[in-house]
Structure 1
Amino acid sequence: MSTFLLSNIGELTTNARLDADPCGTILDAAVLVREGRVAWAGPRTQIPDAMASDDLTGVTVVDAAGGAVIPGFVDSHTHLVFGGDRAEEFAARMAGERYAAGGIRTTVAATRAATDDDLRRRLHALVAECRAQGTTTLEVKTGYGLDVETEARLARLAAEVTDEVTFLGAHVVAPEFADRAEAYVDLVVGDMLDAVAPHARWVDVFCDEGAFTAHQSRRVLEAGRAAGLGIRVHGNQLGYGDGVRLAVELDAAAVDHCTFLSDDDVFALAGSRTVATLLPGVEFSTRQPYPDARRLIDAGVTVALASDCNPGSSFTTSMPLMVALAVREMRMTPAEAVWAATAGGARALRRTDVGVIAPGARADLVLLDAPSRVHLAYRPGVPLVSRVWKDGEEG
């Protein structure tokens, strides 16, 4: 692994809390990277003192030319392994049709029919897309197989690109189990879980109208936990429900969507470790109301942003777009949005080695062709990510 000094940084976002600035901003900064980790980060004027004990032989100096540097984006909610396309469904929504959970079944049929090579090609193309836009850590869910063989296949493929694999067999009830939801849950918590668990870190469930009840969701999550998996929840996307409070009760790492929240839901989140992961790409693509991020942040809830990249309701890999939407539509400040898309995502994955630029963290760095992180929202749609390092390696 290379050793280099990234210097002449106009604005460095460390996410190491300094006073009232959660982004830990350092102006005129530098970062020393050694063996894939951050060795030091601080003001450029302190470089000689900071490196006095280091052997600088062979250290390459990379000039940031006054650009801003942020931690690599941590996208803690994606569905990148799937077959087929649902562009016609998107067009129908834009013509006024209501979004509902059932469209997932269209992707299930295409995914079951796809070969491993077909799925792998698309997966790797999407991962490359993510990386080019500054995403260095990804969570990837199953959930488009809904049978034992295909769910295991999706988990195995996802594990080729990330350690953050989530078992989402409880996405919706499989088509062959129509009107037999309990029998399908039996399959999910039995043979399907057994087949997928060796490849996964997390278990997830869609606890919402048109998907799974609170009782069914609890069965899935408790079975996953008994198998050694961490807990995540899709909740409160399509209406008010039990997803958030179930997630908090079970100490889920995150509950994702959080579009429709009662005061009790917000209170429960504020008193818990569970992160509220907001997915503004979904609202952009479905014309649902955006979650009220300001309400959550003001209540003391930890908020993350993620893309929810999937073929039905948010077919985008762009975390910069999530930042811009969060600022424009969800009343987040640019600093809050960048924190949520980096450190917030890390918390949603219960990771301390990513989402931050501090000694010991992974050297996941993004250099922007802009003087400040504010430009991610100020200049939406513009490709501002100029260079990306993952574990200290560029590319």
Structure 2
Amino acid sequence: MTTELLTGIAELTTNDPRFGGVTGRLLDAAVILDGETIAWVGPAVDAPAADRRTDLGGRAVLPGWVDAHTHLVFAGDRSDEFEHRLAGHAYEAGGIHTTVAATTAASDEELRASLAARRAVATSAGTTTMEIKTGYGLDVAQEARLARLAAEVTEEATFLGAHVVPPGIDADGYVSLVTGDMLAAVRPFVRWIDVFCERGAFDADQSRAVLEAGRAAGLGLRVHGNQLGEGPGVRLAVELGAASVDHCNHLSAQDVDALGSSSTVATLLPACDLSTREPFPPARELLAAGATLALASNGNPGTSNTTSMAFCVATAVLQMRLTVEEAVWAATAGGARALRRTDVGAIVSGNRADLHVIDAPSVSHFAYRPGMHLTHAVWERGQRVV
């Protein structure tokens, strides 16, 4: 196996606590890749020999983004809904039905091509690990199709049949379908199960039924919770040991404390919050309570039509008052925690060789130069892909 020495790294974000600070920052660093894995990390002056050497010219390097919340298997457009919100109308979950209709009408080839294009855009901006949900099918055949397509491009596919209740069926009847035939149909393709525990979607008892059925089928648990108001989502996620509860805009003091004393990650979605004009989550209060934070794009056609993790980091810094290091950690190591992964999100020996090189000497430039495309190069599984 050919080894590659990456040197000329002005600042290396390792997320390795052995190097200190929030992000384990190393200056004037080097990394050695061996096939798909990281073989060595340390000061450039101490770097051992390798078969090949690449000088990164004084740029900063960080782990590839870990985007732990997306809905990228879809067809259609909801820009009219976006304009409706800009005119002052509140966001409600009902717009999902528009995407369901367009997605159902699209062929496998159309969905596969659009998904590949969206995934390529994300990769070009430094995302190397991405979770992708179903949820725009809402019947057995369509949800199985979306799960199969998602699994073609990610090992982190999530079953979100419990997105909204489709027309023509009552909520309890639909939950029975989700936890029965639909779950059985998607199970070969997915690692996770998710539920939209929110007004206009599923209540606490229905959400519990969905999550417990998924757990019995061997799936990990995820929850959409507390986006549109205070509700049971966070409490249910913590009680059941979900890997992540996502959105978290409206939290009581008890919710904050519960997350702070649990292993459930609070995955925050700042691009969505800008689009829907929901209050930003209380990120500083969550950190003070000891909660683990992740940042994710929530890429979807209705409320967050982006996969730019750099934009999410800048927004978290400028609007949610995270430090740059806290935001970068949440978008890399935090995302890995939300996916219960130990092989991505950190540049340490033995991890998958996923690296993001930016045209700047420091990650502070994500917030200092918001909206700028900073990606210079991306390594995924040890191969340069950008």
Determine if the alignment matches structure 1 residue 236 to structure 2 residue 237.
Answer: no
Following superposition, the deviation at residue 374 of structure 1 comes to 0.5
Percent of pairs with identical residues: 62
Determine if the alignment matches structure 1 residue 164 to structure 2 residue 156.
Answer: yes
Determine if the alignment matches structure 1 residue 37 to structure 2 residue 37.
Answer: yes
Q: Deviations over 1:369-391 (max 9, x none)?
A: 00000101110111101100000
Alpha-carbon distance in 1 for matches of 2:69, 2:146 = 15
1:180-259 paired onto structure 2 within 5 Å? 180-259=170-249
Partner in structure 2 of residue 148 of structure 1? 140
Alpha-carbon distance in 1 for matches of 2:123, 2:99 = 24
Runs of 4+ in 1 over 6 A off after TM superposition: none
Q: Deviations over 1:353-383 (max 9, x none)?
A: 0000000000000001000001011101111
Alpha-carbon distance in 2 for matches of 1:259, 1:20 = 31
Query: Which sections of structure 2, spanning at least 5 residues, go unmatched?
Result: none
Partner in structure 1 of residue 352 of structure 2? 362
The amino acid across from 2:225 in the alignment is G
SS state at 1:387 partner: strand
Alpha-carbon distance in 1 for matches of 2:44, 2:185 = 51
SS state at 1:67 partner: strand
The amino acid across from 1:173 in the alignment is V
**8 A contact 2:32–2:38 mirrored in 1:** yes
Determine if the alignment matches structure 1 residue 266 to structure 2 residue 234.
Answer: no
Following superposition, the deviation at residue 60 of structure 1 comes to 1.4
Alpha-carbon distance in 1 for matches of 2:217, 2:36 = 32
Query: Which sections of structure 1, spanning at least 5 residues, go unmatched?
Result: none
Partner in structure 1 of residue 101 of structure 2? 109
1:279-290 paired onto structure 2 within 5 Å? 279-290=269-280
Change (3 A) 1:385 1:192: same
Determine if the alignment matches structure 1 residue 174 to structure 2 residue 131.
Answer: no
Alpha-carbon distance in 2 for matches of 1:320, 1:282 = 14
* Pick aligned residue for 1:343 from 321, 324, 333: 333
Partner in structure 2 of residue 60 of structure 1? 52
Alpha-carbon distance in 2 for matches of 1:309, 1:73 = 14
Determine if the alignment matches structure 1 residue 127 to structure 2 residue 119.
Answer: yes
The amino acid across from 1:343 in the alignment is A
* Pick aligned residue for 1:376 from 360, 366, 377: 366
Alpha-carbon distance in 2 for matches of 1:73, 1:352 = 14
Alpha-carbon distance in 2 for matches of 1:384, 1:85 = 28
TM-score by length of 1: 0.96
**8 A contact 1:2–1:393 mirrored in 2:** no
Alpha-carbon distance in 2 for matches of 1:106, 1:60 = 51
Following superposition, the deviation at residue 240 of structure 1 comes to 0.2
TM-score by length of 2: 0.98
Partner in structure 2 of residue 46 of structure 1? 46
Partner in structure 1 of residue 288 of structure 2? 298
**8 A contact 1:292–1:331 mirrored in 2:** no
SS state at 1:193 partner: helix
The amino acid across from 2:64 in the alignment is G
SS state at 1:18 partner: helix
Change (3 A) 1:331 1:99: same
SS state at 2:147 partner: helix
The amino acid across from 1:393 in the alignment is Q
Partner in structure 2 of residue 95 of structure 1? 87
Alpha-carbon distance in 1 for matches of 2:168, 2:125 = 39
Alpha-carbon distance in 2 for matches of 1:261, 1:210 = 18
SS state at 2:367 partner: helix
SS state at 2:10 partner: strand
**8 A contact 1:2–1:36 mirrored in 2:** no
**8 A contact 2:336–2:344 mirrored in 1:** yes
Alpha-carbon distance in 1 for matches of 2:52, 2:259 = 45
Following superposition, the deviation at residue 35 of structure 1 comes to 1.2
Q: Deviations over 1:84-103 (max 9, x none)?
A: 11011111111211111111
